[in-house]
Amino acid sequence: MQEYGTLALLHSPPQGMEPLRRAISDYLNLERGAHATLERVLVLTSSQQALTLCATALFDAGERIYIEDPFYYGARKAFDAAGLACVPVPLDADGMRVEHLRDAMQPAKAVFLTPSHQFPTGATLALDRRLAVIEWVRQHQAWIIEGDYDSEFHYAGKPTACVQRLDPHERTIDIGTSPSRCFPACALAT
């Protein structure tokens, strides 16, 4: 605000102000190990808007999406509103049981994860499972929608890298709104 003053309050490009997007991409790369670039960051009003954008822009009504069970209600609401068929996948202490993805008779177009701090259980998706989801996505040309909220909050040790960082196929969309990021809006990075 000191640098831009009231100009920061005027209409900005639809994807967000360039300096803010640059700061977000720099932060995500440094703190979360992401592969974010200025061009691949969108500043939105909320994670709900990001989920709705993903659901309507990437998929057609009737397509399937795997979601964690128990699930984040806001994600389920966005996917249902877009006409997607949500397929619940059970969890255990290590997060989503990804063998259910591999064993499914009808593959989905995407999987929605909250891997660093599963909502509502708080489980962290184990590294081998993160890699298994990435491999499943590669095989099926699907997408991972990663809800990376509160990923910086840990009682011990360093935060785990976001799934987007581990994905060499660039099929992961990272949605983050952590208050510790000090961003007034949601950052969506592919």
Tens-digit pLDDT profile for residues 51-74: 999 999 999 999 999 999 999 899
Asked if the structure places residue 160 within a domain, the reply is yes
pLDDT in tens, 113-165: 999 888 888 888 999 999 999 999 999 999 999 987 766 666 666 667 788 88
List the CATH number of the domain containing 25.
3.40.640.10
Give whichever of 1-10, 151-160, 168-177 has the largest mean pLDDT.
168-177
* The predicted structure's pLDDT at residue 183: 41
Burial class of 175 by CB neighbour count within 10 A (0 to 12, 13 to 18, 19+):
buried
Q: In the numeric block, which tokens belong to residue 139?
A: 């095989």
Q: Is the confidence at residue 97, as pLDDT, over 50?
A: yes
Looking at residue 99, the DSSP 8-state letter turns out to be H
More confident residue, 6 or 22: 22
Asked if the structure places residue 6 within a domain, the reply is no
CA-to-CA separations, 174 to 35, 62, 150, 165, in angstroms, rounded: 10, 23, 13, 9
Asked if the structure places residue 32 within a domain, the reply is yes
Asked if the structure places residue 7 within a domain, the reply is no
Asked if the structure places residue 3 within a domain, the reply is no
Q: In the numeric block, which tokens belong to residue 55?
A: 């659901």
Asked if the structure places residue 84 within a domain, the reply is yes
pTM of the full predicted structure? 0.84
- Give the chain's mean pLDDT: 86
Number of domains in the chain: 1
Domain that holds residue 129: 15-189
